[in-house]
Amino acid sequence: MTFTAQILTLYPEMFPGPLGTSLAGRALEEGKWSCNPIQMRDFATDKHKSVDDTPAGGGAGMVLRADVMASAVDHAMERQPDAPILAMTPRGKPLKQERVREIASGPGVTILCGRFEGFDERIFDARPIEEVSIGDYILSGGEMGALVLLDACIRLLPGVMGASSSGDDESFETGLLEYPQFTRPQKWEGRIIPEVLRSGDHAKIAAWRKQKAEEDTRLRRPDLWEHHRDAPDQSPSSARGQKKEDRS
């Protein structure tokens, strides 16, 4: 099955962009996902093809018109009725790995990219759109956010990552940051790889990694740590089991 990405944007030439190279680029060539950027301006109805207008109540910048956005969204919904529709906006729910996994396990996604001051708020009332933020900072447009979301989804599609298990251990998959990684040379600028990682004792290595993952999460991301500590069971196997159930 091909995961279909529809991107509603004023800059369709930005896609696939960096997703045309490396892991995602190869997957695109192999038909594991398809990239369909759609020019939002094509849905404008006046002779100037305008998609934006001045903000009601005054102020700087321009706002994307709800009527034009709705026509573009309706077109995308007709083409792909089963895909969730996400709008990129700093006012949205912060994107998390759990949501990325859900989207990647579905038929695809439609992404609405904002520009200027963003969207006329009424569009979110009138259409089934999920507002998503990729972090607490302001981009100049939603396209970079769309690329981030798609990159996160594509690496999870079946057969895209080299080793099929390599996604399960990553940061956030178990509610923790990943343990620190090392590689050769064993000694570099006087710094030596932790002894335990050279021991060959797999149980000891696993215990050390678990302890480091917990310690680093506690120190670096107290927000994640608090959540993890309060959750009933966060072992990797149970977390995966839960997600599998959710997907079916």
Residues found near ligand SAH in the complex (CB under 6 A)? 88-91, 113-115, 117-118, 133-135, 137-139, 141-142, 145
Nearer to ligand SAH, 126 or 205 (CB): 126
Nearer to ligand SAH, 77 or 144 (CB): 144
CB nearer ligand SAH, residue 138 or residue 203: 138
CB 99 within 8 A of CB 92: no
Q: Considering the complex, state which of residue 67 and residue 117 has its C-beta at the smaller distance from ligand SAH.
A: 117
CB nearer ligand SAH, residue 64 or residue 160: 64
**Minimum CB separation from ligand SAH for residue 35, in Å?**
18
Task: Report in angstroms how near the CB of residue 235 gets to ligand SAH at its nearest.
Answer: 32
**Which amino acid, one-letter code, is at 171?**
S
Q: How far is the CB of 144 from ligand SAH (least distance, A)?
A: 8
CB of 138 to ligand SAH, least distance (A): 5
Phi (first) and psi of residue 37, to 5 degrees: -70, 140
In the complex, which residue's CB is closest to ligand SAH?
Answer: 114
Q: CB of residue 124 vs ligand SAH: minimum separation in angstroms?
A: 12
Q: Contact at 8 Å (CB) between 214 and 176?
A: yes
